Amino acid sequence: MSDLSSRPDDAAVGLTIPHESASLHVTGAALYTDDLVGRTRDVLHAHPVQAPHAHARVTGLRVDAAHDVPGVVRVLTADDVPGVNDAGVKGDEPLFPSEVMYHGHAVCWVLAETLEAARLGAAAVEVDYDPLPAVIGLREAIAAGSFQGGQPTVERGNVEDGLAGSARVFSGEVEMSGQEHFYLETMASLAQVDEAGQVFLQSSTQHPSETQEIVAHVLGLSNHQVTVQCLRMGGGFGGKEMQPHGYAAIAALGATLTGRPVRLRLNRTQDLTMTGKRHGFHAQWRVGFDADGRLQALDATLTSDGGWSLDLSEPVLARALCHVDNAYWIPHVRVNGRIARTHKTSQTAFRGFGGPQGMLVIEDILGRCAPLLGIDADELRRRNFYVDGQSTPYGQPVRHPERVATAWQRVLESGDVARRRAEIADFNRRHPHTKRGLALTPVKFGISFNFTAFNQAGALVHVYKDGSVLINHGGTEMGQGLHTKMLQVAATTLGVPLERVRLAPTRTDKVPNTSATAASSGADLNGGAVKHASEQIKARLAEVAAGRELAWEDLVREAYFSRVQLWAAGFYRTEGIEWDSSVMRGHPFKYFAYGVAATEVEVDGFTGAYRTRRVDIVHDVGDSLSPLVDLGQIEGGFVQGAGWLTLEDLRWDESDGPSRGRLATQAASTYKLPAFSEMPEEFNVSLLERAHEDGAVYGSKAVGEPPLMLAFSVREALRQAAAAFGPAGTSVDLASPATPEAVYWAVEDARAGRTDGRVLEGLPGRVPDQPGADAHALHPRSEQVARSVPAEVRS
């Protein structure tokens, strides 16, 4: 066991304690970025001037009328930028655009004494546009050859030989929607400038160091002249990894030009229409099975909807390609990726970061092909699990694959699945208009940043003369419990009670060059850094003690009078990872997190409405740092995943009218989020036992993203229930999200005996992998509503 992963018997890690800010959250006392406005004098408020076109050239901008509005102080335009007019890291996101690229794109910003004055000032700004053709839908972009960024391929073996040698070959396609983050706290920044021209920013950001860097290059400053602090976020889910930077830059620019604090907080409609979402994906595939139903080959092309700029679309796509296998061994694999450019918001990181989209492809394939193979879907999944000695398609050995099988068996036993299956079969026989379904799905999710350099972290630990401890680290808190875990890590390493340790807000002038709190790596990276800093102090104190038994406070006091340093900077870098993105090969992940979920649903055959009756989960978090926090993350991730897969239906206007490209689902009234009514009636979550992860901080594993993909079991259970309305062996094509409407049409197909019309059997031509290739060539009717029974294709 490594020093990093071993824990003492009296450890604070592993204790079941509440979130460190739980009482502040529930009493309303927790401070967020926008709460600081009331504590700041002479604040100006920013409001955008948004374009009414999805794609247009700005031919004229007249701001004089805005200045006539009482309370308006200034209008910010491209002419005001002293540095670089760009808010991204790829140079493709102008802060003040001369060509608007999506409906609602901000052309300029108005600063005023009140938010209402800023709104009225923005309405008074006159902008002339020359509308240009706009590409809105993902299929439209594929047909038009509208792509951006790199086009990577993950490949192993010989796919054509693998398909040719398969007993059964199927081809098909799947399209999945994006997802709105809908964090409770919208994008928010508060900027101030001191007498030396240095900028201090309070920002709701998952990546303070990158916010600092973008603000600095917009203002033409060095990084050390900009300080960014994040108190906490009211949710992030990846949406605040890249996209806060531009809003922070607007606030900082306004503060620099006016000498007054500037607050920029998007209202809900602005946040929905101006910020990026989870990437929608289209996938076309061919798959081969042997006579026993074991996967032999997979050939697929995944196309993501990147929106108007690259943002994080390239690493999102890379992770999607690396997770197409999920928990399954596939000897021959070729998965091509490409990013569509559409005139919509620039899609960005979202919990799972492409992994869910990639994994949905293989789960959809197995769910649709199982009835055609005559094999129970759960059994088809089980017999294709990785076993020891096998590697991923990109060359990384799969460690501890037996944990999937172990978790699977524990779910079967604790969930009493065999008995319930018999009860469901009996229920379905007796109820012609209501059916139930139960499905199990696994998760294997790689932990680490795809970009190797991001796998580092720093921390600062102070021990004061009275024995109290203050820690500061580079991670940000968005409700996920990272700070709680860091308090437990510091208390464990130093051997002090938890109440003696306090955590300070994340600031770039305390811990520099930090990575984003993302990729589920926050506790791994920052925990390693906090532990390193604490160990340095502990080693110095051990020398002072010289074998004596001293109370903590007495030891610290003696160390101070002996002039022993009582603070330390810690650093951690993830060892054992390497990745060559040019060939998509290597060992990009420190380890894999595993989990299994079983979900039971009931579907109304008249409406397609459904309810989730029961969920059983066994999830691998290693040796948990904070069990209560981890259980909350598993429950929350599962529900958010279920929302993406069954409820949350993003819609843009794809008509040729004047509102083309407008987000139609721009409020909670039109965008359906999971609520209490969607919660499982019975929800059982347990942590996998004896799952120590050597080489990770105190033997723990990441928990932020992997549980989201446990929700595949909900979609697959809905597929089972819909198929039960038809004859045995019915293969159901289920849209994603599987809304009640989509389930209704799946039920209608099953009742009419129409099996999945978008799965063809045989050996058709190669899946396209070039931008100009026809993504619909294999399918004469590729629309999502196509439900005709296909003619068999012979190889």
CA gap 158, 153 in Å, rounded: 14
Q: Check: CB of residue 273 under 8 Å from CB of residue 345.
A: yes
- Rg of the chain over all Cα atoms, to the nearest angstrom: 27
CB atoms within 10 A of CB 590: 23
Q: Which residue has the tokens 């109370």?
A: 551
Q: Check: CB of residue 239 under 8 Å from CB of residue 274.
A: no
CA gap 529, 572 in Å, rounded: 5
* CA distances for 751 relative to 135, 294, 433, angstroms: 37, 30, 10
CA end-to-end distance (rounded Å), the chain = 53
DSSP code at position 740: H
Judged by phi (left if over 0) then psi (alpha if -120 to 50, else beta), residue 177 lies in beta
CA gap 134, 101 in Å, rounded: 8
Tell me whether residue 168 is exposed, middle or buried, using C-beta atoms within 10 angstroms of its C-beta: 0 to 12, 13 to 18, 19 or more. middle
Identify the bridge partners of residue 289 per DSSP, sorted by sequence position. Answer: 168, 295
Interaxial angle between packed helices 355-373 and 313-322, expressed in degrees from 0 to 180 and rounded to the nearest 10: 30
SS3 209: helix
Q: Check: CB of residue 354 under 8 Å from CB of residue 317.
A: yes
Q: Check: CB of residue 722 under 8 Å from CB of residue 435.
A: yes
Q: Which residues are catalytic?
A: 705
DSSP code at position 33: G
SS3 417: helix
CB atoms within 10 A of CB 250: 26
Q: Which residue has the tokens 């599987």?
A: 738
Amino acid letter at 655?
S
Largest CA distance in the chain: 87
CA gap 714, 441 in Å, rounded: 9
CA gap 734, 743 in Å, rounded: 7
